[in-house]
Structure 1
Amino acid sequence: MLHVRDIIELPLLKTSTLKTGKAVLNNKMVEWVSVIEYPVENFVRENEFVLTTGIGCHEDIDILLEFVKDVYDSGASALAIATGRYIFEIPDEIIRFAEERNFIIIELPWEIRFADIIQEVMRELNQIQQLDLKRSNGIPQKLIQMILDGKDLRQISSYVEQELNLPILVLNKKGKPVAGSADQSKVFAIRNQFKKQIKQEGSNHPLQSKIRVITDKEYNLYHLSIQTNGEHEGEICVLSDVNDPLNQEKIHIIEHATMASALWFTRNNVATEAEMHLQNEFLLKVIKDENLSEEYKTTKAEQFQCNLELPYECIVGYPENLDTLMEKDYNRNLNNENELEQMISYLKEELIYAAEAVKHQMLFAYEDDLIIIFLEVTKESTTDSVNHFLDLIERRLHHFFPGLTFSWGIGKHREGIGEFPKSFKKAKAALDMGRNQIGIGKRLKFDEMRMNRLLLNLAINEEVQEIIAGPLLPLIQYDEKRDMDLIHTFKGYNRNSGNVSQTARELNLHRQSLLYRLRKIESLTGLSLVNPDDLFLLDFSIRVWSTGVIKREQIEKSSPSPINGL
């Protein structure tokens, strides 16, 4: 960059005299040169080398002092006054004003033409600009190559700091420092004032209009947002001395650094999502008990840092109203799978936080609409541990998705090491029963109620499913076609101990209509309602079906033969 010392050392100005500001010659940079006469108004820019003859001051010291004050207040780098025609000697009042403020004033002999000074200064500025441009053009190529070479963000930020000769701090989307050597306490102290004092840098530069700048007594903090595909990914904070504002060259470097950081975050997000999908697929295979070899499980567990050698309790969650919230918040229609995908990255971080808070290991997977969690069981684990864990998750998720409702099913406590499939089936059964019998937004533990535990255990047994499919399927199919609700009719009949008159009154049916339905139940199922064994089998089948654990497809699959002629 060009400084005032570089200008006064030009051969053209060897006869000039430096009157004030010797101590700051190396600090005051020059970005432009101009000729200004009284009045100044708004015609002087910051870091401008100003030339004047004082013609508008009419040898009036007060007017000349006012002129010098206005040039100083405009942020000019220096003021060069040509003497010998309108001003013969720079007054002492002007010298005192400039000395008190370390403002540079240069006395020029009248013989030196302003046009020659402007030409020389512009030639120096153009040379510097060409060098800066050449150097600046090489920076994005270097940054892109670093990303292609797999360099991490710390290495990239170190290179940017070297080029800027300033410390920076790169923050992720949660505002956590991830790279850079700038003093974090100073950055955050100034950054927290953005809400109180934010100004837009006055420049036509396409990036600089996005830079937020705040100044305290010692530092300027330049703050830029990192975005990818319109999504906020993080921030870059550049810390500089209050007397060292960013020049055009540094603005270009920061622009390239911002773009490189956005590219790095994009690449990192893709890699993270790919690894998360692979880990998710592995855990789903373990949960579904796909006859995986021990060698395969050991290798994958090490790759994804999953400890499978601990006892876990399974928790299965279902976000009840996520699609409605997404449509409301983002004003767009998305299928539930995509909505869940958008929540996964937030959810996983919150799960990790919650697991650390309760001091338990945790494994996490998701499939379709379900969130599957395996929380470590320790000697100190209690029922409150799971509830505390879920409380933390729901409380923190509420900040991202206000109004989101979860239903939870919790597997049997202390199932044992490696019992992932068994624990998952019980947690999923508890979730289904809770949603069907208790309602949404609840938590149901598998081992809370003895009768439900018995029914849930039987419901997930394949042999039981095959036994109950015979009497259940014809009733389900008939109710779907005729809308007669024979299952509900049987529940009322059995609840009233076979009393037809009492059942008819309770169901608000004519006695003959009820008798017709009861005969239809017997003909469809092949069971007699007066035979205790048949009555027990039908009651048991309907109770298991009412848990909500068994789906229609499972009943059809387990049925010995299709039912015709309904």
Structure 2
Amino acid sequence: MGLQMKEIIELPILQKAKLLTPTSLLSKQEIEWISVIETPVENFVKQNEFVLSTGVGCKEDPRCLEQYASDVIESGASAIGFATGRHIFTVPDPIIEECKRNNIALLEIPWEVRFGDIMQEVLQAISEEKREDQRFVEGIRQEMIDCVLNGEGLDEITSLVYKHTSIPVAISDDERVVRSNHHFNRDMIDILNEKKEGAYRAVPFTQTSYLERHYPIEKYEFRQGECYQLTILSNHKKQGYLLFERIDRPFSWSDLTILEHAVTACALFFVKENAIEMTEIRLKDNFLLDLAKKEDELGEELIEKARLLGYDLEKPYACIIGDIQFSKTIDDHIDSTDKKIASSMHSRNYYVQTEIQHAADQIDRKRMTTFDDGRVIVFLEADKDSYMETTHQFLDLVERRLHELLAGITISWGISFHGNGVGVFHESYKEASTALSFGFRQEEAGFRTFFTDTKVNRLLLSISKNSDVNDLVEATLSNLIAYDEKRQADLLHTFMVYNKYNSNVSQTARAMNLHRQSLLHRLRNIERLTGLSLLDSDDFFLLELSVRLWMLTRN
């Protein structure tokens, strides 16, 4: 950040100075500092410096003066000014020629012009230029922030960067999805993201350490050119990347500062976007939980509120409630590796939500999803005549992908379809909850229970509230239950399997992996302990009823 030499030479203090090199060089050199350096030069001169000298150490040795000028040029100075009239009377031609070859501005300054006055005016001019640059860059920073606060997006930020720096720039999110691109070479992005074949290598970014002190920055070299990548961070969390290409000039202070401000504006944009997303998720969660748990009338107001959230309540839906069980290993794996979830849900539910969305898209059905106390609630678009088939197809897709992703996950499902009408969602939710509850009473985890399949169990549950019925169940099964607990004989399970196979001994024995005689021995024990005959239809009905009531109510 400095002045061009053509602005320096126009200062009043240098009106008497004589330019010994072409005026065309003046616009090519930038002056960031001015100093008085005599021989030896060593490492006292820095980049883009205007060096003043009286030549006092070389007044009788032209070759020494030439070496001095060569050392200043090699140090990266932009201009040299020799005071003539005391120690040097004319600048030697070899020095003039060398300055021309290296595009260095060379001035001859009359002895009476004091170096102190020159330095004062030049430094004052540079300081004023710096203040102007700072005001200019600060205005761009405020413009970028205003873009975000006024609801504009990343396109406006990249447009401002390109407008004021001419640097091609692109912005991607933390998943490397390009969100905005202003003249940046798309091939380089695709190669970095491994979407396209191509070689590149990472190299150190050495022009300035300023940006590196504040933001992680990488430099990549491609066959197509070079680009740089700044990581966008917020609260120490990676939000995305800002990519910019190399241009045909060194990056200036204002270039790098504008890029820094662009990173800050992008971080603010992503934080705002995440906050909006989390607010939307909370609104959707609360809406769906109220829809399921409250007996709200399905009127125009509710339908319109749903439409604003992206839901269509006028379609028929099946209600599906899933009880999700993760092994401890899976919980540990998710907690340790899943750091990229930009939603208000727990990280382990993110996987379930993703696969539910994928499955619904695969079968081209609308879906509404939320979570409640470790359970997932899904309203899936379905037709009355085929909702079971649709539900099975949907759950097959969900479970297959989840089992591939997370070995050991177990989900049990309760399902209901209540058709259309007032209170449909609340009624469907209650029925699906009932189906899930009955499933847990009778099955191991991992089942699918439809509410329509619970008619007998609901009837039995109603009967079980009668004390006389409970006494009858106790009298029928007490000896059998006590024997199972003492001997671990599993006679109750044996009877349930025997009943499932319609009293077929051969099929029951195969299903239980028992010898036929062993099964017959167990069946005789059941008859002995209950006092009932498995060949008598009334006795068999009483035993079946008692076992089913006991299984239904034991938990």
> Taking structure 2 as the reference length, what is the TM-score of the superposition?
0.68
Cα distance in 1 for partners of 2:480, 2:336 equals 39
Distance 1:417 1:503 in 2: 50
Separation (CA, whole Å) in 2 of partners of 1:430 and 1:126: 75
1:490 — aligned with what?
A: 492
| Residues 1:207 and 1:167: Cα distance change in structure 2 (over 3 Å) | farther
The equivalent position to 1:458 in structure 2, one of 430, 444, 454, is 454
Q: 1:467 aligns with which of 463, 466, 479?
A: 463
Structure 2 Cα separation of the partners of residues 262 and 46 of structure 1: 33
**Residues 149-548 of structure 1: pairs in structure 2 closer than 5 A:** 149-155=150-156, 158=159, 166=167, 168-179=169-180, 181-183=182-184, 185=186, 188=189, 196-199=202-205, 202-203=208-209, 208=214, 210-213=216-219, 221-239=227-245, 241-247=247-253, 249-287=254-292, 290-310=295-315, 320-321=325-326, 324-325=329-330, 327=332, 340-343=345-348, 352=357, 355-356=360-361, 359-374=364-379, 387-388=396-397, 398=405, 403=406, 405-408=408-411, 422=428, 446=448, 457-458=453-454, 462-468=458-464, 484=485, 489-492=491-494, 531-541=539-549, 545=552
For the aligned residues, what is the CA RMSD?
A: 5.5
Correspondence for 1:32: 33
- Given the two structures, how large is their TM-score scaled by the length of structure 1? 0.67
| Cα displacement (A) at 1:369 | 1.6
Q: 1:195 to 1:506 in 2, by over 3 A?
A: farther
> Per the alignment, do residues 59 and 272 of structure 1 end up closer, same or farther by CA in structure 2, a change over 3 Å counting?
same
Following the alignment from structure 2 to structure 1, what is the Cα–Cα distance between the partners of residues 238 and 212?
Answer: 19
**Residue 14 (str. 1) matches residue 15 (str. 2):** yes
Secondary structure of residue in 1 paired with 2:306 = helix
Cα offset, 1:245, TM superposition: 0.4
Aligned with 1:306: secondary structure? Answer: coil
Structure 1 position 26, deviation (Å): 3.2
Structure 2: tracts of 5 or more residues without a match:
194-198, 338-342, 506-516
Matched with 2:105 is: 105
Counterpart Cα distance in 2 of 1:33 and 1:115? 11
Residues 84-111 of structure 1: CA deviation (Å, up to 9, x unaligned):
646943444x66665555x223132352
Residues 464 and 495 (structure 1), Cα distance of their counterparts in 2 relative to 1, 3 Å cut: closer
Larger radius of gyration: 2
Query: SS of 1:275's equivalent?
Result: helix
Distance in 1 separating the partners of 2:174 and 2:302: 34
Q: Are the structure 2 counterparts of residues 166 and 434 from structure 1 closer, same or farther at C-alpha, using a change threshold of 3 Å?
A: farther
TM-superposed deviation, 1:480 = 13
Aligned residues: 507
* 1:10 to partner: Cα distance: 1.9
Q: Rate the CA distance shift 1:293–1:405 in 2: closer, same or farther, 3 A.
A: same
Q: Work out the percentage of aligned pairs sharing the same amino acid.
A: 23
CA contact (8 A) 1:202 1:209 kept: no
Q: Does 1:122 align with 2:112?
A: no
DSSP-derived class of the 2:297 partner: coil
1:70 aligns with 2:74: yes
Once the 2 structures are TM-superposed, how far is the Cα of residue 303 of structure 1 from its aligned partner?
Answer: 0.7
CA distance in structure 2 between the partners assigned to 1:346 and 1:47 by the alignment: 56
* Helix, strand or coil at the partner of 2:369: strand
SS at match of 1:531: helix
- The Cα of 1:299 is off from its aligned counterpart by 1.0
Whether the 8 Å CA contact 2:84–2:110 is kept in 1: the answer is yes
Residue 18 of structure 1 deviates from its aligned partner by: 4.2
- Distance in 2, matches of 1:141 and 1:342, equals 36
Give the Cα separation in 2 of the matches to 1:138 and 1:478. Answer: 88
Contact 2:228 2:244 in 1 (8 A): yes
The C-alpha deviation readout for 1:508-561, integer Å capped at 9, x for no partner, is: xxx9xx999869x9xxxxxx9983332121233356x4xxxx994xxxxxxxxx
* Equivalent residue letter for 2:307: E
